[in-house]
Amino acid sequence: MDTIEDLFRRFEQLNEIGAALSHERDIDRLLEIILVAAKTITHADGGTLYRVTEDERSLRFEILRNDSLGIAMGGTSGNPISFPLLPLRTESGEPNNSMVAAYAAIHQETVNIADAYQAEGFDFSGTRKFDERTGYRSQSFLTVPMKNHENAVIGVLQLINATDPDSGRVTPFSAADQRLAESLASQAAIALTNRQLIIQLEKLFESFIQLINVAIDEKSPYTGGHCERVPVLTMMLAEAVNETKNGPLADFGMSDKDRYELKIAGLLHDCGKVTTPVHVVDKATKLQTLFDRIHLVDTRFEVLKRDARIAMLEARLALREARDARAESALETDLARQLRQIESDRDFLRRANVGSEAMTAEDQERVSRIGKGYRWADVDGRQSSFLSEDELENLGIRAGTLTQKERETINYHIVATIKMLEQLPWPKHLKNVPEYAGGHHERMDGKGYPKGLRREQMSVQARVMGIADIFEALTARDRPYKPGKTLSESLDILGRFKLNGHIDPDLFDVFVRQKVYLKYAERFLDPEQIDEVDEANIPGYEAAGVAARHK
């Protein structure tokens, strides 16, 4: 018989368990806590926790424990449960009332059996075979349905062999045991449901973020991979910093909540690109808008060649009447010279349009000379400048394919990102997402954008994302305007960025020292990009010595 003291002690245990259930985030650990707690407060030797499958047609073994036999399966044990599902209906569609766990789930009733070998109405043949095989004696059973706040059964808690704490003798489960187990099952079901709902909301939220990234990908296939890879590299570097025990970053640490917050920020770091015009994002050549306007320029060159031939032919007709053969020959020579010059200028503009190399001042002057020197007749017969002011501006871009205005348009995506993210009612554990995501274009020397923050004004997470964003862009092989750089080329550029105050110097040293670049490369880069890296020659890199100096 249960004493008053024992009941009070077990009620206290129940309260403590309820508090523990409300704090646990991991589903496997939560299920394990539920079963172990139920065993503890009822003095059960063993137990099983089942969950209703997604299709609500079966029970699935989740956790199995037996102290006497030393069995621990499922949960955090590392030993998977290979038992088949327990059907809630027979093949004919009738309720599976012969199995006690299924019966408890179907009828939402607790089943308390003093001795399984003498119980009627239930099939314990599997239990008997288990006992024969192991030498165990399964006797008392307490099977409790786990009902959530909607009164729906989401699992079943089954306890085996209540044991007298003093004598060690197996006894039936008492009425107090049953009430305590039912109370625990109710609390556990609510805790499990809440955790499942949180997980479902997190998955929904992450899926919505992926939806935004898919939209960006659909706008531009050249940035979709970026949205996928930057979060991965961000977490790789953050984990490397988290493992650093010496130097200026030794105090940095992340909890699971911190990791999730940074992960979400990484996924959303470029969400503002949904506002960026696709023809700017995908601008592979200087004259590209919705199409590459170099073809219009080619057409004008053909018009120039046609007009030159017509002018020569008209001049020849006049000279033939004067019977001046020498002058006719001079006309042919002059036409050939004009056509060579036109072809030369056309080839030059084609090369300039690619934007793969920086233009010299002489090249920029030649663009201007071609644009203003040639005249051509449009469809209305009007004489016009060969290149429009917009074409002159674009073809005269010194490096790359973007004008200053287009760079500002692209850079605005980070402003849009911050605006979008600051509009959301972030919960406490995600409140830093806008700062982390919105700071990856800032520089350590305060010359970045959009806020011009300095290093000390930024979190470590935002600085981590800045390095990840740059390294991914350097090595990306899916951009239309450049091939992906090798590891040694990318680390050389990053090292120079460290020296000129662009990126965080301590984070860069961890990036190299912990070989984060190589882990990333093995997962995302082409084999030909993974070349030999001589870390000693990376500009600005300080190896283990930097850690020793800051101990």
Q: How far apart are the C-alpha atoms of 69 and 133, rounded to whole Å?
A: 12
Residue type (1 letter), 436 = Y
Pick from 57-71, 204-218, 455-469: least confident: 204-218
Q: Helices 505-513 & 221-242, crossing angle to 10 degrees?
A: 90
**418 near 404, Cβ under 8 Å?**
no
Q: How far apart are the C-alpha atoms of 318 and 320, rounded to whole Å?
A: 6
pLDDT digits over 467-522, tens only?
A: 999 999 999 886 665 678 999 999 999 999 999 999 999 999 999 999 999 999 99
Q: How far apart are the C-alpha atoms of 212 and 269, rounded to whole Å?
A: 11
What pLDDT is attached to residue 210? Answer: 85
What pLDDT is attached to residue 359? Answer: 87
Percentage of residues in the chain with pLDDT exceeding 90? 52
Q: How far apart are the C-alpha atoms of 154 and 51, rounded to whole Å?
A: 6
Alpha-carbon distances, residue 342 vs 260, 337, 386, 390, 396 (angstroms): 60, 9, 12, 21, 19
What pLDDT is attached to residue 11? Answer: 60
Residue type (1 letter), 497 = F
3-state secondary structure string across 462-492: HHHHHHHHHHHHHHCCCCCCCCCCCHHHHHH
Residue 182 sits at φ, ψ, to 5 deg, of -65, -40
Average the pLDDT over 357-378 and give the result. Answer: 87
Q: How far apart are the C-alpha atoms of 113 and 444, rounded to whole Å?
A: 70
Alpha-carbon distances, residue 21 vs 35, 180, 181, 189, 344 (angstroms): 11, 15, 15, 10, 78
How many CA atoms lie within 13 Å of 164's alpha carbon, on the beta-carbon side?
10
What pLDDT is attached to residue 307? Answer: 86
CA-nearest of 90, 92, 44 to 68 is 44
CA-nearest of 307, 313, 312 to 386 is 307
CA-nearest of 431, 98, 26 to 261 is 431
pLDDT digits over 132-167, tens only?
A: 999 999 999 999 999 988 889 999 999 999 998 888
**424 near 449, Cβ under 8 Å?**
no
Q: How far apart are the C-alpha atoms of 231 and 524, rounded to whole Å?
A: 13
Indicate whether 3 pLDDT > 70: no
CA 120-122-125 angle, to 5 degrees, is 105
Alpha-carbon distances, residue 151 vs 86, 108, 186, 386, 489 (angstroms): 21, 9, 10, 78, 62
Q: Where are the alpha helices (DSSP H) in 3-51?
A: 4-23, 27-42
The three-class DSSP label of residue 47 is strand
Q: How far apart are the C-alpha atoms of 257 and 263, rounded to whole Å?
A: 10
Q: How far apart are the C-alpha atoms of 543 and 522, rounded to whole Å?
A: 22
What does DSSP assign to residue 381?
S
Neighbours of 163 (CB within 10 A): 19
CA-nearest of 309, 224, 208, 343 to 264 is 208
Across the chain, what does the average pLDDT equal? 87
pLDDT digits over 255-294, tens only?
A: 999 999 999 999 999 888 888 887 787 787 888 887 888 8
Choose from 105-119, 215-229, 374-388, 400-414 the range with maximum mean pLDDT: 105-119
CA-nearest of 399, 402, 404, 294 to 357 is 399
pLDDT band at 76, cuts 50/70/90? Answer: confident
CA-nearest of 145, 104, 144 to 121 is 104
Q: How far apart are the C-alpha atoms of 291 and 425, rounded to whole Å?
A: 41
Tell me the whole-structure pTM to 2 decimals: 0.69
What pLDDT is attached to residue 382? Answer: 82
Alpha-carbon distances, residue 382 vs 314, 374, 378, 379, 386 (angstroms): 20, 13, 5, 7, 12
Q: Where are the alpha helices (DSSP H) in 135-220?
A: 175-219
pLDDT band at 546, cuts 50/70/90? Answer: very low
The three-class DSSP label of residue 79 is coil
Indicate whether 7 pLDDT > 70: no
